[in-house]
Structure 1
């Protein structure tokens, strides 16, 4: 069995339910390449195992995932040439020049990975708590069902803080609705778990401290269905969404995302692919707290 460094993989109920736990709590489960590659391996293992009927994806600690890892020591070391460089930085476009390098790397590890997880041949449940920001949304949205506790909040801050047009797996209009997606992307405001439930993005809301147990109860109920029935329900809904344009819209939005990076590369003469101090903006880690969205007020974010 695969030995994981950045996550844990367990099965319960005689192997019928697999539990994948992101295990970088000190970094609020921020996603660096090592974590993403292991997550793909874990999902593949669950898919291969015919005993598994449902896969739960959760995060250790107080946050499901705070998004891409933009600066931890682990993330820096794995990118740099040397004995600790992650193998994924030696292929899949990593040795190409210009924007082609980022375009191919992000396609493989942010978009194609996520689409593959969305189409996994098992029912998947994201069990989330705390801040679910930016790329944290991508992992969550790849799952068939989302359950959350009352501490969960959801935001894509990359427009307001990095000058980007949303994360790479651009499911926002499908998850939030068109106008709410524009509002949340342009402001970077967060959505409460109760509003996420009203939108239909979240299926169940549990009290803090009950998330793990109640997610397992939920998974057991679904695991009780015939596996073919579960898969056909999943496939029927996913194909309906794809026929409505979901797959093509993801690809188009991803290409715009890469054009957005190219804009900053041109403006900074290759110094940055994000909006930051080089262009008069703040460093990404010097912004104030994320502001909750409000029906009646416009709150300023720093």
Structure 2
């Protein structure tokens, strides 16, 4: 199957096309998610979904970090959102021309919230393979996948509460992935958990040694790809539908509404876009640290 040219990701298939590998490819920016990267990622997921030979999709990243979250102001991000010949069309539709809270609400619903939910329900088994710090919107990409594996360098934090005064990211799976009290702790403090703790609470399926993540992820994917595709999809559906019947779908919708209310609050307080504000508090925030366990 022909694939388009990409600027921010890489796409390849292996094992007679049974495994598709999508790699985030902005290592100098720690794979921060500018809009162009997300649009390319959406197209790559669609290509993998269309290809009947593909059984498993691996989502990985080049460089030392899986993803630092949303791009908060790189040259790419500024160029693609600034009015002019280089502005992405996606900033002129799906609410892009509206004013006030409606603009954020409609843009984020489409590009962040709805896309992440769609990737969660992709008609393939998906595996996130992560390393290094995974922050905020990086968690969204990871949580949208059916399985998560990491190496020992991985750590996980949503820093938007402590650094931007936000109530979490657009796809608010935190209580389901972390548990309610751990979710509150990590959002309020901005602390991280390491790979071993993520495995202990069931968020991460496997923790591989440093230096073996790519190789061991592919071997793990081969085990999944050997399952009959119809049975694999029904297993995925059974688990996802169980979560949805427990309230996952409605909880995501409700939390997204709060997220947009939080944006509207910031608009009133800051008088503009806090993410592009040069005085935004995240610029002077202390380093993220691993949450300390209580000592006896």
Q: TM-score range by the shorter chain?
A: over 0.9
Deviation at 1:274, TM superposition (A): 6.5
Does the Cα contact within 8 Å between 2:150 and 2:206 map onto a contact in 1?
yes
Structure 2 gap ranges (5+): none
Instruction: Report the equivalent of 1:230.
Output: 232
Alignment of 1:188-227 (within 5 A): 188-227=190-229
SS of the residue 2:60 aligns to:
strand
Alignment of 1:1-302 (within 5 A): 1-268=3-270, 270-273=271-274, 283-296=281-294
Question: 1:111-167: CA deviations, max 9, x gaps?
Answer: 000000000000000000000000000000000000000000000000000000001
Distance in 2 between residues matched to 1:33 and 1:275, nearest whole Å: 14
Distance in 1 between residues matched to 2:68 and 2:267, nearest whole Å: 25
Instruction: Report the equivalent of 1:300.
Output: none
Q: TM-score, normalised by structure 1?
A: 0.95
* Runs (4+) off by over 2 Å: 270-278
Deviation at 1:82, TM superposition (A): 1.1
Does the Cα contact within 8 Å between 1:276 and 1:283 map onto a contact in 2?
no
Cα RMSD of the aligned pairs, angstroms, is 1.4
SS of the residue 1:82 aligns to:
coil
Deviation at 1:168, TM superposition (A): 0.6
Deviation at 1:277, TM superposition (A): 8.2
Does the Cα contact within 8 Å between 2:26 and 2:32 map onto a contact in 1?
yes
Distance in 1 between residues matched to 2:266 and 2:16, nearest whole Å: 52
Deviation at 1:272, TM superposition (A): 3.9
Distance in 2 between residues matched to 1:68 and 1:284, nearest whole Å: 13
The number of equivalent residue pairs is 293
Deviation at 1:276, TM superposition (A): 7.8
Question: 1:80-127: CA deviations, max 9, x gaps?
Answer: 111111111110100011110011001101100000000000000000
Does the Cα contact within 8 Å between 2:72 and 2:275 map onto a contact in 1?
no
Structure 1 gap ranges (5+): 298-302
